Amino acid sequence: MAVQPITSTNHAPHTVQPIPVILNGRTLEHNRRMPLNTDWVEAVRVNTSAVERRAATHVARRTVKKETQAAWLLRAIACMDLTTLSGDDSADRVRRLCAKARNPLQRHIVEGLGIEELHLTVGAVCVYHAFVETAVKALEGSGIPVAAVSAGFPAGLNPLAERVEEIHRSVEAGAQEIDIVITRAHVFNGEWQALYDEVAAFKEAAGPAHLKAILGTGDLMTLRNVARASWVAMMAGADFIKTSTGKESVNATLPVSLVMVRCIRDYAERTGMAVGFKPAGGIRTAKQATDWLALMKDELGRPWLEPSLFRFGASGMLGDIERQLEHHLTGRYSATYRHPIA
Partner 1 sequence: MSIAEKFYTMEYGAAPEDPKEVNQWLERHHRRFEEFIGGAWVAPASGEYQTTSDPSTGETLAEVAKGNTADVEAAVAAARKAFPAWQALSGHERARYLYALARQVQKHSRRLAVLETMDNGKPIRESRDIDIPLVARHFYHHAGWAQLLDQEFPNYTACGVVGQVIPWNFPLLMFAWKVAPALAAGNTVVIKPAKYTPMTALAFAELAMEVGLPPGVLNVLTCDAKTGQALIEHPGIDKVAFTGSTEIGRVIRKATANSTKKLSLELGGKSPFVVFDDADLDSAVEGLVDAIWFNQGQVCCAGSRLLVQERVAEMLYTKVRARMETLRVGPPLDKAIDIGAIVSPVQLETIRKMVDQGVAEGAKCWQPSNSLPEKGCFFPPTLLTDVHPAATVVQEEIFGPVLVGMTFRTPSEAAELANNTVYGLAASVWSENINVALDLASQVKAGVVWVNCTNQFDAACGFGGYRESGYGREGGREGMLEYLTPKWLHSLPAAPHAAVKISVPDEEEGFEPAGEPPHANIDRTVKQYIGGKQARPDSGYSFPVYGREGELLGEAPLGNRKDIRNAVEAARNASGWARTSAHNRAQVIYYIAENMIQRRDEIAHGLARAVGEDQAAVEVDLSIQRIFSYAAWADKYEGVVHHPPGRNITIAMPEAVGAIGILAPSEAPLLGLLSLVLPAIAVGNTVVAVPSERYPLVIGDVYQLLDTSDLPGGVVNLVAGRPAELAKTLAEHDGIEAIWCFRSDEEANAVRAASIGNMKQVFTNDGHEYDWFNPAQAEGRWFLQHATQVKNIWVPYGE
Residues labelled catalytic: 179, 242, 278
Among the listed residues 2, 13, 24, 39, the single contact to partner 1 using CB under 8 A: 24
Per-residue contact string for residues 117-156; x = within reach of partner 1 by CB under 8 A: xx--------------------------------------
Does 51 sit near partner 1 (CB under 8 A)?
A: yes
Site for partner 1 in 184-213 (CB under 8 A): none
| 26 C-beta neighbours (distance < 10 Å), count | 10
Q: The dihedral of CA 36, 37, 42, 46: what is its sign?
A: negative
| Distance from the first to the final alpha carbon of the chain | 44
Does 329 sit near partner 1 (CB under 8 A)?
A: no
Does 107 sit near partner 1 (CB under 8 A)?
A: no
Does 247 sit near partner 1 (CB under 8 A)?
A: no
Burial readout 103-115 (b: 16 or more C-beta within 10 A, e: otherwise): ebbeeebbebbeb
Q: Quick one: which segment of 42-50, 203-211, 239-247, 333-341 binds partner 1 (CB under 8 A)?
A: 42-50
In the sheet that holds 276-278, the strands lie side by side as 276-278, 240-242, 210-214, 177-181, 146-150, 124-128, 80-83, 312-314
CA 319/CA 332 separation, integer angstroms: 16
Cβ proximity to partner 1, 317 vs 325, nearer residue = 325
Does 45 sit near partner 1 (CB under 8 A)?
A: yes
Contacts of 49 (CB under 8 A, 6+ apart): none
Q: What are the φ and ψ backbone dihedral angles of 265, each rounded to 5 degrees? A: -65, -50
Q: Least distance in Å: CB of 75 to partner 1?
A: 6
Cβ proximity to partner 1, 211 vs 226, nearer residue = 226
Cβ proximity to partner 1, 32 vs 53, nearer residue = 53
Query: 292: burial class by Cβ within 10 Å (0-12, 13-18, 19+)?
Result: buried
Does 22 sit near partner 1 (CB under 8 A)?
A: no
Q: Least distance in Å: CB of 198 to partner 1?
A: 25
Does 229 sit near partner 1 (CB under 8 A)?
A: no
Does 108 sit near partner 1 (CB under 8 A)?
A: no
Among the listed residues 1, 2, 60, 335, the single contact to partner 1 using CB under 8 A: 60
- Cα–Cα distance list, 49 to 42, 224, 255, 256 (Å): 20, 12, 10, 12
Burial readout 37-52 (b: 16 or more C-beta within 10 A, e: otherwise): beebbeebebeeeebe
Site for partner 1 in 294-323 (CB under 8 A): 294, 297-298, 302, 305
Written as one letter, the residue type at 241 is I
Q: Quick one: which segment of 57-65, 206-214, 239-247, 272-280 binds partner 1 (CB under 8 A)?
A: 57-65
Bridge partners of residue 177, in order along the sequence: 147, 210
- The footprint of partner 1 (CB under 8 A) covers 16, 24, 45-54, 57, 60-72, 74-75, 78, 113-115, 117-118, 222-224, 262, 269, 293-294, 297-298, 302, 305
